[in-house]
Chains A and B, each alone.
Chain A
Amino acid sequence: MATYKLELKLNGEKLSAQVLAHENLLSVMRNKLGAKEVKNGCNKGDCGACAVLLDGKAVNACLTLALQANGKEVTTVKGIGTEDQPHPLQESFVRHGAIQCGFCTPGMIVSSKALLDTIPNPDRRQIREGISGNLCRCTGYNKIVEAIEDAALKRKS
């Protein structure tokens, strides 16, 4: 099958890979670009575990063809913050105990970041809507909502 050259920026780093026309971004991220932090929970857009920012907009990587990301900037949880420079959301998730098994966390942080980039001071209803595409089976969402709310406040101050 014919392959095509995909070029993108992943967390600020220029990368390229040979991909098939029908390959989704999730598969390419995990298997060709080493971005294992992007999780595969359902591979059909139901769970949000593979959420990434594509030019700043949150998308499910499983519903995005890899070639749709050509020439674009992809940001995962690793690009949002690191140990040296954690994003307020990451600190807040840890401090509030918003993490249990952690499998939804990378996608959840990506969606939260996208939310705060659009609505810097969301109320609880807006927070819940902002992460409604991300399933979490462990936490009951309470602590996640509180963590996002708190991160928004911290960012403001």
Chain B
Amino acid sequence: MKKDPKDQLSNYEYQFIGKPVPRHDAWDKVFGRTKYADDFDMPGMLFGKVLRSSYPAAKILSIDTSGAEKMPGVAAVLTAKDVPNNETVTRFGQTHQVGGFEGLYRVLADKKVRFMGEAVALVAAETEEIAEEALARIKVEYEQLPGVFDPLEAMNPDAYQVGEGDSNIICNYQVRKGDVKEGFSRSHVVVENTYRVPFVEHAFLEPESGIAWIDDSEIITIRVSTQVIEHFRDVADVLGIPHNKVRVIAPMVGGGFGSKEDITVETFLALLTWKTGKPVKMTWTREGSIISSSKRHPYVMKYKTGATRDGKLMAMEAQLISDAGAHVYLSPWVLLYSTVDATGPYDIPNVKVDSYTVLTNNTFTSANRGFGAPQVCFAYESQMDELARRLSLSPLEIRKRNYLRKGDALATGRVLEYGVETEKTAIKALEALGEPSMPSSPTEKIGQGLASGMMSYGRMTFLHDTSRSYVGIELDGSVTVRCGVQDIGGGQASSLASIAAEILGVPMEEIKVFIGDTALTPIAGTTTATRMLYMSGNATLKAATEVKKSLLPKAAEMLEASPEDLVFRDKKVFVRGAPARAIPLADVVKACAADGVQLYNVAQFNAPFRELIDFKTGQGQVFPDFTFGSHAVEVAVDTETGKVRVLKLVACYDVGQAINPLSAEGQIEGGALYGLGYALTEEVILDKGITLTPSFSEYLVPTSVDAPHVKTIMLESRDGAGPFGAKGIGEPSCNSIAPAVANAVANAIGARILDLPLTPEKILRSLQKL
């Protein structure tokens, strides 16, 4: 553990919380025993495949499936007309310029295709090869349409219409605070730039996959790699059957990063198994996954920031335009995150933000680790360094003069009621970075960069988020937790075991956590929005505490002590200060059972419930709380080749309280590298809607040799809204790395690059060598 002793409060003495214990799922994974979605077979199962659109924008004139249907071994061929409810519409809200906005989910393309890779037809066959051949025999007649691929172009009133509406603009938000004109007039320097960030692929290692079957009581059961088992409702709605006739099971997920938040294979599998009566498996190829799954939103961001001579921020004006791609999905919410986060962790008296998300015929965009926060972080942190340069202040100094502190309000009026340690994270990150290294060649230049970021954890408060968890103690003293979490690799399940272990004094290995099954585990909500520890951790803490409470009177009676003097530890109940007076926990449980004491509890945790904010001014509370932190990096830029090497990378984030430091550090390290790819190499390149980077040969995620050793500094303010004062770290951990790299590169070469990723070409161009 790398903890600063100054940040430790000595009166917290936990047995499991904050201890680097091996995760309960790690042993299965290291012996190759964990069964992911595609590892599960059923006798007589069919293989499902998807026919995808050949064009990014086209009318479907006709579909002839007869050739495929005639093939021996083909069990079903489905098109839009075979889907009971092919469309569902989510109403999001109302924004004043654009009006009501809604998200259309269409299972299979009908009459019109909006992007390359959109599903047009489904096949189920006895073998994968037959299914593949059947796809080739489906004849689709298209009439190509011009399409629109640039969000700025798509905003024009006379632009090609991607959907069926009369505008490509899905929604817009505004934040208004103070008077920016006045603020700029009182500024000594004003920096104005336009930043661009690309499409990003999630690049989880496990492609989308699942298997569905109809069980012996006619329940459509889907075992699927997902972040959201609650899509069982959407699947039932598509089939037109009651919600309780669909069961979704999530096994361990081989990475999600947001892309398994939307429906992937679930509805396709349900339709094919419902049509054929047989089990059906579907796993996408890597290429199929990259072409057809969601991407991170590209943004065009115009920023104007003004500050006084002594570096106090006076005004910020931002216009954000995001490319939603061909379907709405979560674009309005991603945009709202960007809008609220647009000013960063800074106190700015005058703010004006206008944001838009726009349909195009590109691959659709939706959730991706950070959910709209990293895009704006790149922009506002680049602006901060430009201001610092113009004012001859150090990057740290200008930030210190403007950081928000606990009790301050965001531009949206929301007062920060939990820990805000941004300044401390920046100081520590820079300290750990140390003195600049020496260049290794005459053409190499060294630069250092700093960036801070903030991102929420927990869902938007007007969604009225809840989670439930069951904790029960068995007659032998072992503990069962049932909680509908999806474990996507962050240790979501194991952290619940840590919490139950702490409260009930039972070793981790005697706690079994059952997860991710809509039939058997209490619904816990989505593994998204960095919410699982906050929501289900709190629910589990509550349930475990209730179970302990119900055991206390009997234990007190048996030990002839007062209940408040009892300690639960090592599967025993002790009298505080008299360790010899102890009885096995199992004896207490048995005695309670004989007395009819309830040995389990199902607790629900509710996040704060707020109403929809005012989209004209942005005023109101959108999030429960935020996680703050900083990245500091040192780069070596080769001015001949334009290549950037990251020599040092320090990540310092306030995690509130690490439940398991191994897992929390793992998030910070993984998040840093996720963000480093965003900074340097990752870009899904689309040429008029056609993906030019459909594999890991073209789409470059960092390998072990590209990655520097990440130095992690974990602060623990113990001042978060999660259990034991924890904050969420999964997504915030990748937030500020790209601007830190951009700032380091600018520091090295004396020129600022405004577009991610920072490729050698862009660097050479900025050095006027190309």
Contacts and interface: CB of A to CB of B under 8 A. Distances in A.
Interface of A: 36-37, 39-44, 46-47, 49, 76-78, 81-83, 86, 90, 93-97, 99-106, 109, 124, 127-129, 131-145
Contacts of A134: 704
B349 interface: no
A97 B714 CA distance: 16
Given A40-B38, A137-B674, A139-B666, A101 B31 contact: no
Question: At the interface, is chain B mostly helix, strand, loop or mixed?
Answer: loop
Contact of B252 (A94, A101, A136): A101
A138 B666 contact: yes
Contacts of B255: 101, 103, 137-138
A137 B257 contact: yes
6 contacts: A41-B205, A47-B286, A94-B23, A99-B23, A137-B257, A140-B670
Q: Which of A49, A90, A99 has its CB near the most chain B CB atoms (within 10 A)? A: A99
A41 B283 CA distance: 11
B204 A101 contact: yes
Contacts of A127: 704
- Which 7 pairs of residues, A with B, have the shortest CB-CB distance? A101-B489, A37-B32, A97-B662, A103-B254, A102-B29, A46-B696, A140-B669
A94 B33 CA distance: 14
A82 B712 CA distance: 32
Contact of A44 (B28, B29, B31, B286): B286
A99 B30 contact: yes
Given A78-B32, A93-B30, A102 B707 contact: no
A90 B31 CA distance: 7
Contact of B704 (A43, A77, A144): A144
A93 B695 CA distance: 28
B705 interface: yes
Contact of A49 (B39, B203, B205, B253): B205
A132 B703 CA distance: 6
Q: Which of A95, A96, A105, A106 has its CB near the most chain B CB atoms (within 10 A)? A: A105
Contacts of A83: 27, 31
B705 A103 contact: no
A39 B670 contact: no
Contact of B666 (A44, A97, A131, A132): A97
B672 A135 contact: no
Nearest to A41: B205
Contact of B254 (A78, A97, A101): A101
A114 to B, nearest CB: 14
Interface string B20-51: 10110111111111111011000000000000
A76 B709 CA distance: 28
A147 B207 CA distance: 26
A93 B26 contact: yes
Nearest to B283: A40
Nearest to A37: B32
A81 B33 CA distance: 12
B704 A101 contact: no
A97 B203 contact: no
B26 A94 contact: yes
Q: Which of A37, A131, A145 has its CB near the most chain B CB atoms (within 10 A)? A: A37
B22 A39 contact: no
A105 to B, nearest CB: 5
A78 to B, nearest CB: 5
Contacts of B26: 93-94, 97, 99, 102
Given A41-B206, A101-B255, A141 B29 contact: no
A83 B33 CA distance: 10
Contact of B23 (A43, A49, A97): A97
Nearest to A100: B489
